[in-house]
Amino acid sequence: MEQSGPHVLVVGAGVIGTACAHYLAESGRRVTLVDRSTVGGEASHGNCGCICPSHLLPLAEPGIIGQALTSLVSHSTPFFVAPRFDPSLWHWLLRFAGNCREKQMIQTGHFALALLQQSRRLYDELITKYQLKCDWETNGALYVCKQPQAFKALSAKSELLQTEFGIQARRLVDQQLTDMEPALREGLAGAWYFPDDAHLRPDHLLRSWRESLVQRGVTVQEQTEVRALSLRKECARAVITDRGDIRAEQFVFATGAMTPLLARDLGWQAPIQPAKGYSLTMPRPEPCPRLALHFVDYGVVATPWLSGYRLGSILEFSGYNRRVDPRRVALLRDGANQYLAEPCTETVEETWVGWRSMTPDGLPRIGPCPVASNVYVAAGHNMLGMSMAPATGQMIAQILNDHTPTIDPEPYRLAA
Ligand SMILES: Cc1cc2nc3c(=O)[nH]c(=O)nc-3n(C[C@H](O)[C@H](O)[C@H](O)COP(=O)(O)OP(=O)(O)OC[C@H]3O[C@@H](n4cnc5c(N)ncnc54)[C@H](O)[C@@H]3O)c2cc1C
């Protein structure tokens, strides 16, 4: 493709930066994608790969604070806040608590849905057009409950998703459950099926997307850490990296959970906290579930692919640490085994932790940065970065190209 227009440097090659590079390159821009590790080497590597419009409601919902308080004294909950003196965490938690209201939750849900539905459409297009190899499955997702009280709460939420947001959903009980997903055991309280959800294998997606970008002329520079911005008269000229300066005309920071570490250079106190999640990747078990399964009572997700199987979960607010807590690893397999007809005993190929970038209201921040007129941010995608990436990348390309964005960018704007 012929490249024209100002050169754009995208910092951070997770799924968000890669999607930004994709849509910028597709619009004909010259693009360089830089990462301090490798393309898709951080949160975008070992996540569950669910592309889930059904998951539009934010974590900040009425009642969640009670769960967070329980987690202060328990290591067996999937939501955990490690008690520690960290003013930025406590400030974040206060803002989060302020968002745990019904009205706020519904409004945020609508803003999230716009990105989720657009991304779901764009994935269909781009996976076909660029032949991205990522075990793409569009057969929906099943949210399964073991206990009646969990099923009651899920049913109330699913009815809200149907009536308020127009999400397609079907309630399943008794035999309907095992007819839909034979890998489940009998005697579970019930489930809800979301036919418009999809799933893919994130590490394979990022590998294939990288190849496609390189073939289309995007320069990918890995193992290059951006340390600062070089500014002149409120305009960024270059980034200063550990391997020299890189000049460009426009800059996009898609640095995920690490965005607050660049706050000084972005002129913006990013309201982002890292929340550690865990996953176990293994060969497909026998029998293997057909659908992506959300085990609601335990907050564990099982994603089956042609090339393997992954269990993932846990939301641990413990700062920037990569320590693997064996109690949490055990929770993944033990949680899943409560729902499956055959316990999963496969050998683990990879035990992984990664940081989600959590904002207090659950919405990502996408748009111009205060530090300079040619610097932009796309970060803070919470638990839904895989699901929101294409729409985020498209929005960034439209903003930088001065085109009217397909989705109104206002709700995702950075506060001054
Ligand atoms: C266990 C778990 C399960 C999940 N499951 C799902 C799911 O099923 N569906 C879903 O939609 N989402 C899921 N998520 C969330 C999803 O993984 C994230 O929202 C998404 O990967 C964020 O992408 P990103 O590009 O913003 O961040 P990242 O993938 O972390 O990318 C940021 C990149 O910036 C680079 N970087 C940072 N600082 C610098 C610097 N100074 N210089 C150069 N490079 C830099 C990093 O090296 C990194 O590669 C899950 C997350 C976890 C932890």
- Residue 12 CB less than 6 A away from ligand 1: yes
Distance CA 104, CA 90 (A): 20
Measure 304 CA to ligand 1 centroid, in angstroms.
21
Cis upstream peptide for 287 (omega within 30°) = yes
User: Residue 107: its pLDDT value, please?
Assistant: 97
Residue 147, C-beta contacts closer than 8 angstroms, at least 6 positions apart = 189, 297
**CA separation, residue 246 to residues 16, 216, 223, 274 (Å):** 20, 20, 14, 28
- Residue 259: its pLDDT value, please? 97
Protein residue with least CA distance to atom 26, ligand 1: 256
pLDDT for the residue 415: 83
Angle (CA) 144-147-148 rounded to 5° is 100
- Given the structure tokens 């806040």, which residue do they identify? 81
Q: What percent of the chain has pLDDT over 90?
A: 86
- The CA distance from 210 to 396, in Å, is 18
> Atom 3 (ligand 1): residue with closest C-alpha?
47
CA of 352 to the centre of ligand 1 (A): 13
Sign of CA dihedral 143, 149, 152, 157: negative
162 CA to centre of ligand 1 in angstroms: 29
The span from the CA of 108 to the CA of 328, in Å, is: 30
Each residue of 200-232: pLDDT tens digit?
Answer: 999 999 999 999 999 999 999 999 999 999 999
The total number of residues shown for the chain amounts to: 416
How far does the centroid of ligand 1 lie from the alpha carbon of residue 211, in Å?
19
Separation between Cα atoms, residue 318 and residue 89, nearest integer Å: 9
For the chain, what percentages of helix, strand and coil (3-state, to nearest 5) are there?
35, 25, 40
Model pLDDT, residue 266:
85
Q: What is the pTM of this model?
A: 0.97
Instruction: Report the distance separating Cα 28 and Cα 22, nearest Å.
Output: 10
Q: Which atom number of ligand 1 is nearest to the Cα of residue 225?
A: 42
292: Cβ below 6 Å to ligand 1?
no
Cβ atoms of 383 and 9 within 8 Å: the answer is: no
Atom of ligand 1 at shortest distance to CA of 41? 49
Predicted pLDDT at 77: 61
Closest Cα to residue 275, out of 412, 93, 415? Answer: 93
User: Which of 33, 35, 387 to mutate for ligand 1's pocket (most ligand atoms within 8 Å of CB)?
Assistant: 35
State pLDDT tens for residues 143-183: 999 999 999 999 999 999 999 999 999 999 999 999 999 99
User: Which of the residues in the chain have pLDDT under 70?
Assistant: 1-3, 67-78, 416
Pocket test for ligand 1, best of 48, 117, 229 (most atoms within 8 A of CB): 48
- Among candidates 41, 82, 76, 16, which has minimal Cα distance to 276? 82
Q: Is 48 in the pocket of ligand 1 (CB under 6 A)?
A: yes
Closest CA to ligand 1's atom 53: 277
pLDDT at 78: 61
Beta strands in 261-321, from DSSP E residues, in sequence order: 273-282, 292-295, 300-305, 308-317
Q: Which residue has the tokens 């940081």?
A: 355
CA-angle at 144, arms to 170 and 322, nearest 5°: 130
Residues in Cβ contact with 285 at an 8 Å cutoff, skipping those fewer than 6 apart: 309, 342, 344, 345, 346
Determine how many CB atoms are found less than 10 A away from the CB of residue 214.
13
Q: Tell me, what's the pLDDT at 344?
A: 85
* pLDDT confidence of residue 284: 96
300 CA distance to ligand 1 middle (Å):
19
Six-digit token string for 175: 């035999």
- Measured in Å, residue 275 CA sits from the centre of ligand 1 at 11
Residue 377 CA to ligand 1 center (angstroms) comes to 14
